[in-house]
Amino acid sequence: MIQKKYWDPEIETMSSDALRKLQLSRLQEVVSRAYEKSNLYRQRFDTAGVKPTDINRLDDIKKLPLLEDAEFRATPLQDRLTVPISQIPVICSSGGTTGIPSPLPRTQRDWENNCIARQARARWTAGFRPGDIAQERTNYECTGAANKLIGVQRLTLCAGRGFLDNQIRLAQLLGVTIIVDVPSFALRYLDRARELGIDIKQTKIRAIWPGSETWVESYKKRLEARYGVTFLPGFYGASDTGGIEANECEYYNGYHIFADHVLFEIIDPETGDVLEDGQEGELVVTTLTLEALPLIRWRAGDITSILPYEPCPCGRTLPKMARVRGRIAQSALVKGKRIFPIDVEEVIFTTPGLGEEYQIIVDTPGEQDRLKVKAEYAPEVTSLKGMKGQVEEALTQALGVPTEVELVPGRSLEHAFFKAQRIITTYPKS
Ligand SMILES: [Zn+2]
């Protein structure tokens, strides 16, 4: 069977000039639409003294006010929408990772051109092909529809009533080839399969498609070596924006931004100033093609950078972003340095004798005087004292802040079910 290389060849290999033109016309369209039809945006733009006719270049986006997620969520739905709710055919919901889930009404075009099409592009780029059987714990209609477009079958959470052991057994009976899950859970899945006497290398499972959770290279290598499964190119996205916003290609060197659907900016989270390509800061997203509930300069809360442009050997021309380092809300400020779980993870995974689970303990409000980490040790470790000193030294060396480590027996920390909670706040909140 001859298979196409790109899912959306016209878009994925478009010249930078043509892409910028497309982005500008879509930006003008979404800003006009929001101003005319959404009370929230009209009020905000009026307060900032900016009209849709002021947007004549892509850079003019800076004239528009930044949108805090909390303000967006707190605004009544009818004031945010650009279409009466009675005319909405599909309602999705945000995952609720950062708070209470919120309803996401979609027009038919939103549903087909964003939710489904973006999933399909990402899956194809990751390496999903006809004949694959994907196992997913979520049962989203959009991912089901995207699989169907590609010719991939899937097994979802409703199979086996959600019990992991049943899921593993069903996967064997069916011949699942790809596990779609956050890396922390994928590891739990494979470890459990081994306990059940299954040799993953002898099964049809060939790959993991890592979900929206950051991980370190050493984690990936450990999983690949232990179970012979490949990490497919990953993706970045948020359901609020219509789903997937960027994904890696087969060269694993940055995430191609779906720049036909989203416009990315990176800001200094403290000042709101827009940063240059290559500088790390908070991601701000403008959706270019969502109709019902557009986001304009929405603060995503994720820390990343847009990579300085250079051609990718895969032939795609879409610009790239770095892998997300973490969320501001899921970080700890230690002696003036912001520490993300991924920074700690690299050390945990490269220190022999430590398990996979760890927690960063934040026991006082605000800035911490040292980084406090709880980590699991492997059964073969005999000298806990020596081990503790060694891990503290490694963390202090790597992160440049004083560190205190508490070692706990393997499996005593809570294992992640959806996304791993790495920052644990232990002080009472007033
Ligand atoms: Zn590429």
Q: How many domains does the chain have?
A: 3
The alpha carbon of 117 and the centre of ligand 1 are apart by a number of angstroms equal to: 19
The alpha carbon of 8 and the centre of ligand 1 are apart by a number of angstroms equal to: 14
**pLDDT average, residue stretch 386-395:** 93
Tell me the whole-structure pTM to 2 decimals. 0.88
The alpha carbon of 253 and the centre of ligand 1 are apart by a number of angstroms equal to: 7
The alpha carbon of 313 and the centre of ligand 1 are apart by a number of angstroms equal to: 6
pLDDT digits (tens, 9 = 90+) for 291-336: 999 999 999 999 999 999 999 999 999 999 999 988 888 889 999 8
CB 301 within 8 A of CB 240: no
Say what the pLDDT of residue 95 is.
Answer: 67
Residues 33 and 170 both lie in one domain: no
Residues whose beta carbons lie less than 5 angstroms from ion ligand 1: 249, 312, 314, 316
Asked if residue 108 belongs to a domain, the reply is: yes
Asked if residue 253 belongs to a domain, the reply is: yes
Residues 183 and 206 both lie in one domain: yes
Asked if residue 361 belongs to a domain, the reply is: yes
Tell me the two tokens of residue 174.
């069916």
How many residues would you count in the chain? 430
Residues 148 and 201 both lie in one domain: yes
CA distance 348 to 398: 11
Asked if residue 145 belongs to a domain, the reply is: yes
pLDDT digits (tens, 9 = 90+) for 35-51: 999 999 999 999 999 99
The alpha carbon of 319 and the centre of ligand 1 are apart by a number of angstroms equal to: 9
Residue 202 pLDDT > 90, yes or no? yes
The alpha carbon of 282 and the centre of ligand 1 are apart by a number of angstroms equal to: 23
pLDDT digits (tens, 9 = 90+) for 123-149: 999 999 999 999 998 778 899 999 999
**pLDDT average, residue stretch 280-292:** 97
Asked if residue 248 belongs to a domain, the reply is: yes
Residues 336 and 379 both lie in one domain: yes
The alpha carbon of 324 and the centre of ligand 1 are apart by a number of angstroms equal to: 17
Asked if residue 398 belongs to a domain, the reply is: yes
Residues 270 and 195 both lie in one domain: no
Nearest Cα to Cα of residue 203 among 231, 161, 166, 168: 168
The alpha carbon of 28 and the centre of ligand 1 are apart by a number of angstroms equal to: 28
The alpha carbon of 180 and the centre of ligand 1 are apart by a number of angstroms equal to: 21
The alpha carbon of 236 and the centre of ligand 1 are apart by a number of angstroms equal to: 15
Residues 259 and 317 both lie in one domain: yes
The alpha carbon of 72 and the centre of ligand 1 are apart by a number of angstroms equal to: 34
Residues 249 and 220 both lie in one domain: no
- DSSP, collapsed to helix, strand or coil, labels residue 285 as strand
CA distance 45 to 293: 16
Alpha helices in 102-163 (DSSP H): 108-109, 117-126, 141-150
The alpha carbon of 53 and the centre of ligand 1 are apart by a number of angstroms equal to: 35
**pLDDT average, residue stretch 182-194:** 87
pLDDT digits (tens, 9 = 90+) for 339-367: 999 889 888 888 888 887 899 999 998 89
Check the CA dihedral 415-419-423-426 and report its sign. negative
Say what the pLDDT of residue 18 is.
Answer: 98
CATH of the domain at 380: 3.30.300.30
CA distance 44 to 301: 20
C-alpha distance across the termini of the chain, in Å: 62
Residue 105 pLDDT > 90, yes or no? yes
The alpha carbon of 74 and the centre of ligand 1 are apart by a number of angstroms equal to: 38
Tell me the two tokens of residue 309.
């442009």
Tell me the two tokens of residue 325.
């380092």
CATH of the domain at 160: 3.40.50.980
Among the candidates 232, 253, 287, a domain finishes at 232
If you average pLDDT over every residue of the chain, what do you get?
91
The alpha carbon of 17 and the centre of ligand 1 are apart by a number of angstroms equal to: 18
The alpha carbon of 263 and the centre of ligand 1 are apart by a number of angstroms equal to: 18
pLDDT digits (tens, 9 = 90+) for 214-231: 677 777 888 889 999 999
* Confidence class for position 97, pLDDT limits 50, 70, 90: low
The alpha carbon of 167 and the centre of ligand 1 are apart by a number of angstroms equal to: 34
The alpha carbon of 312 and the centre of ligand 1 are apart by a number of angstroms equal to: 5
Among the candidates 277, 311, 328, a domain finishes at 328
Tell me the two tokens of residue 15.
């010249």
The alpha carbon of 150 and the centre of ligand 1 are apart by a number of angstroms equal to: 20
The alpha carbon of 399 and the centre of ligand 1 are apart by a number of angstroms equal to: 31
The alpha carbon of 304 and the centre of ligand 1 are apart by a number of angstroms equal to: 18
Residue 200 pLDDT > 90, yes or no? yes
**How far from the centroid of its chain's Cα atoms is residue 168's Cα?**
25
Residues 17 and 55 both lie in one domain: yes
The alpha carbon of 237 and the centre of ligand 1 are apart by a number of angstroms equal to: 17
Characterize 256-268 residue by residue with b for buried, 16 or more Cβ atoms within 10 angstroms of its Cβ, and e for exposed: bbbbbbbbbbbbe
Asked if residue 119 belongs to a domain, the reply is: no
The alpha carbon of 299 and the centre of ligand 1 are apart by a number of angstroms equal to: 26
CATH of the domain at 278: 3.40.50.12780
Say what the pLDDT of residue 208 is.
Answer: 94
The alpha carbon of 1 and the centre of ligand 1 are apart by a number of angstroms equal to: 23
Say what the pLDDT of residue 160 is.
Answer: 56
Among the candidates 232, 258, 283, a domain finishes at 232
The alpha carbon of 407 and the centre of ligand 1 are apart by a number of angstroms equal to: 41
CA distance 424 to 422: 6
The alpha carbon of 316 and the centre of ligand 1 are apart by a number of angstroms equal to: 5
CA distance 356 to 375: 8
Say what the pLDDT of residue 418 is.
Answer: 52
Say what the pLDDT of residue 212 is.
Answer: 65
**pLDDT average, residue stretch 11-27:** 98
Residues 278 and 200 both lie in one domain: no
Residues 313 and 378 both lie in one domain: no
Residues 244 and 339 both lie in one domain: no
CB 255 within 8 A of CB 233: no
Asked if residue 391 belongs to a domain, the reply is: yes
The alpha carbon of 7 and the centre of ligand 1 are apart by a number of angstroms equal to: 13
What domain range includes position 38? 9-114+236-328
The alpha carbon of 56 and the centre of ligand 1 are apart by a number of angstroms equal to: 30
Residues 147 and 218 both lie in one domain: yes
Tell me the two tokens of residue 149.
């477009």
The alpha carbon of 10 and the centre of ligand 1 are apart by a number of angstroms equal to: 15
Higher pLDDT, 218 or 422: 422
The alpha carbon of 126 and the centre of ligand 1 are apart by a number of angstroms equal to: 11
The alpha carbon of 179 and the centre of ligand 1 are apart by a number of angstroms equal to: 23
